[in-house]
Amino acid sequence: MDSKGKVVRYNLAYINHDIFQGDNGRVLGYDNAHGVHHRHCKGKVEAVEFQGFGDIEERFEAEWLAFSRKGKK
């Protein structure tokens, strides 16, 4: 966070080697490494539009919950 409490760097990751063995087990992730906001999903990386950290958190949580529900079926 910066001096005003704004998130300036983030890395959210769901790691599960039983679902995906590549990318060190990262099934899903969002980060802004190298100054670019992007999403990882089972080894694929794509840029994402950044509308704020809260939005990224919500996206990550919704996708992570979807993965966890699939695993319980």
Extract the tokens encoding 6. Answer: 């704004």
DSSP 73: -
d(C-alpha 61, C-alpha 10), whole Å? 14
Proportion of the chain above pLDDT 90, given as a percent: 71
CA-angle at 71, arms to 54 and 39, nearest 5°: 35
Supply the pTM of this predicted model: 0.85
pLDDT score of 71 more than 80? no
The band of 68, judged by pLDDT with boundaries at 50, 70 and 90, is confident
How many CB atoms are located within 10 Å of the residue 47 CB? 9
Extract the tokens encoding 37. Answer: 């906001």
Extract the tokens encoding 45. Answer: 């990386």
pLDDT score of 1 more than 80? no
